[in-house]
Amino acid sequence: MLTKRQIVDFLEEKDEVVIEALFRQADQVRKKYVGDAVHLRGLIEFSNYCKRDCLYCGLRRSNENVVRYRMTIPEIFNTALEARNLGLQTVVLQSGEDPHFTIDDLCSLVRSIKTDIGFAVTLSIGERTYEDYKRLKDAGADRYLLRFETTDPVLFKKLKPDSVYEKRFRCLEWLAELGYQVGSGIMVGLPGQTMESIADDVLKFKEIDLDMVGLGPYISHPNTPLQGSENGTLDMVLRVTALTRIVTKNAHMPATTATGTIDAEGRQKALQCGANVLMPNSTPRKYREHYLIYLDKICIDEEPHKCRFCVESMVIGLGRTISSDAGHSLKSASC
């Protein structure tokens, strides 16, 4: 197990040879613990309304330049159906924290995607009550993604002024307790983030025994208070990806869209130093341009089938295979 000091040293390392060796080690750990198959999860961004005002996020409620949209429940269902027709086996339903959708609506959506389409369902809809999480689990939801964004409580409060640090971690505990496969993660390169705090983040992934870890660079958005701040770098994202793989061993780790946004080869590189999941965007094209969490997001002009086949050729180009199963957690406690 790496210590905090060792992680910080890798994050600060200047010698490229050492970093190349770190990437190779992470790739071997990935191969040994999660294999060569890459899991595909269709991402449906079903609402860009958000009641929160996180300083980094383009969808924050104070951003009046966003054209807000909400897909209807039947529209979301049909989008999931289309994902199945593209050969996917699971969807991630993601939105801002949008109180418009009642838990009853969401439960019936989850139930119908589970039973009529036969998909594994992942939710990424933010902080909710224990009772809400329980009802969604009872309706059949399998997994939940909720990034804690940073373990640094001071930075957290500054960037998420209307969220409570302890509540976020409590949500992650509840989700695990309820039997969800739980994913969390961070942004790399947040303004004010230190190497020490990233090392704490990596150790936290292990401590809370996550089933999935999502990492991407922070990318500044012009209509936020952080506009003009520096973006996270691919190099740093890859280092954190590699270290997270080495520390967590068998967590599922996506090569994220944000990583593909800062570098055309970003996702391919992440897949070669620890990542084993891709999330092709399955959101109907007409909504995509409005789900701009950050600037210059890729795949805005693509239809779902384009992303589906683009990621497949990416995987094949790397000599890897597409997983033929739903990609459940590899941790023994889950499923």
Residue 196 exposure: Cα atoms within 13 Å on the Cβ side: 4
- What is the rounded CA–CA span in Å between residue 122 and residue 181? 9
| Sign of the CA dihedral running 196, 198, 201, 205 | negative
Is residue 310 a contact residue for ligand FES (CB under 6 A)? Answer: yes
- How many residues touch ligand FES under the rule CB under 6 A: the total is 8
Q: Residue 233 CB, nearest distance to ligand FES (Å)? A: 21
3-state secondary structure of 321: strand
Is residue 306 a contact residue for ligand FES (CB under 6 A)? Answer: yes
Q: Which CA distances in Å does 188 have to 36, 219, 240, 245?
A: 26, 9, 8, 15
Q: Which does 121 bind (CB under 5 to 8 A by kind): ligand FES, ligand 5AD, none?
A: none
Is residue 312 a contact residue for ligand FES (CB under 6 A)? Answer: no
Window 277-296: residues binding ligand 5AD (CB under 6 A) = 293-294
Q: Which stretch binds ligand 5AD (CB under 6 A): 17-25, 103-111, 192-200, 216-224?
A: 216-224
Non-local (6+) Cβ contacts of 23 within 8 A are 238, 242, 272, 273
Give the one residue of 27, 127, 132, 302 binding ligand FES; rule: CB under 6 A: 302
Is residue 299 a contact residue for ligand FES (CB under 6 A)? Answer: yes
Non-local (6+) Cβ contacts of 201 within 8 A are 148, 150, 151, 186, 240
Is residue 262 a contact residue for ligand FES (CB under 6 A)? Answer: no
Window 25-64: residues binding ligand 5AD (CB under 6 A) = 56-57
Q: Which two tokens stand for residue 296?
A: 């210059």
Binding track over 171-200 against ligand 5AD, x by CB under 6 A: ----------------x-------------
Q: Which two tokens stand for residue 236?
A: 């740093």
Instruction: Please give the full DSSP string across 67-107, using - where no structure is assigned.
Output: ---B--HHHHHHHHHHHHHTT--EEEEEESS-TTS-HHHHH
Give the one residue of 185, 232, 274, 280 binding ligand FES; rule: CB under 6 A: 280
User: 93 vs 311, which CB is nearer to ligand FES?
Assistant: 311
Q: Which residue is nearest to ligand FES (CB)?
A: 310
Chain positions contacting ligand FES, by CB under 6 A:
280-281, 299, 302, 306-307, 310-311
